[in-house]
A and B are shown apart, each in its own frame.
Chain A
Amino acid sequence: MRAVHFCNSCGKVQPAVPVDYFTFFGFPRKLNLDTSELEKEFYALSRRLHPDGFGQADERERSWSLEQSSMLNDAYRTLKDPIRRTEYLLRLEGVELEEQSKQATEKARATGELKKQVVPPDLLEEVFELNMQLEELRMQKKMGEDDPALLEEIGKARLSLEEKYDALLRELMTEWNKWDKSLGGEKDGGDQADRRKILDRMVDVLNRRNYVRNLVRDVNEAMED
Chain B
Amino acid sequence: MKYMATDYIVGIDLGTTNSLVAYMQGSSPVVIPGEDGLNLVPSVVALDENNRIVVGNAARKYLIETPERAVYSIKRLMGRGVEDVEDELKLFPFQLAEDLQQGEVLRIKIGERTYTPPEISALVLRQLKRNAERFFGAPVTQAVITVPAYFNDAQRQATKDAGRIAGLNVLRLVNEPTAASLAYGLDKKKNGMVVVYDLGGGTFDISILKLHDGIFEVVATNGDTHLGGDDIDNLLISIALDDIRGDLGLDLRKDMRHSGEAVQRIRQAVIEAKIALSSQPSAKLNVDLPGGKKYQREISRDMFEQMIQPIVDRTIGPCKQALKDAALKPEQIDEVVLVGGSTRIPKVQRLVEDLFGRKPHTDLNPDEVVALGAAVQAHILGGGSEITQDMLLLDVTPLSLGIEVAGGVTDKIILRNSTVPASATQYYTTQVDGQTNVAIHVLQGERELARDCRSLARFDLKGVPPMVAGMPRIEVKFLIDANGILRVSAREQRSGQEAEIDVQPTYGLTDEQVENMLLESYDYAEEDFRQRQAIEARREAETILTALAKAKNNYAWRELTNDERRNVEKLEKALVAVKEGDDYHAVRAAIDALNEATMRLAELMMDTAVSTALKGKAMDDTDLEEGPQAGHPMAKADFE
Contacts and interface: CB of A to CB of B under 8 A. Distances in A.
Nearest to B418: A77
Interface string A84-125: 000000000000000000010011011100000000000000
A74 B407 contact: no
24 contacts: A43-B212, A50-B482, A51-B481, A52-B380, A55-B171, A56-B381, A56-B383, A66-B479, A69-B482, A70-B422, A70-B480, A71-B423, A73-B422, A76-B419, A77-B418, A77-B419, A103-B412, A107-B405, A107-B409, A109-B448, A110-B408, A110-B409, A111-B407, A111-B409
Contacts of A66: 421, 479, 481-482
A55 B449 contact: no
Interface in B441-469: 448-449
A55 to B, nearest CB: 3
A66 B477 CA distance: 13
Given A52-B172, A56-B383, A73-B418, 19 more contacts: A50-B482, A51-B482, A52-B380, A52-B393, A55-B381, A55-B382, A55-B383, A66-B421, A69-B482, A70-B420, A70-B421, A70-B479, A71-B423, A73-B421, A74-B422, A76-B419, A103-B411, A111-B407, A111-B409
B392 interface: yes
A47 B394 CA distance: 10
Contacts of A214: none
Nearest to B479: A70
A69 B420 CA distance: 8
B482 A52 contact: yes
Interface string A34-64: 0000000001001100111101100000000
Interface string B521-536: 0000000000000000
Contacts of B409: 106-107, 110-111
B639 interface: no
Contacts of B422: 70, 73-74, 77
Contacts of B448: 106, 109-110
Interface in A136-179: none
Interface in B372-407: 377, 380-383, 392-394, 405, 407
B2 interface: yes
A77 B419 CA distance: 8
Contacts of A50: 392, 394, 482
Interface in B107-137: none
Interface in B271-303: none
A79 to B, nearest CB: 13
Contacts of B482: 50-52, 66, 69
A76 to B, nearest CB: 7
B241 interface: no
Contacts of A52: 172, 377, 380-381, 392-393, 482
Nearest to A16: B423
Contacts of B407: 107, 110-111
A77 B377 CA distance: 24
A55 B380 contact: yes
A110 B449 contact: yes
Contacts of A43: 212-213, 215
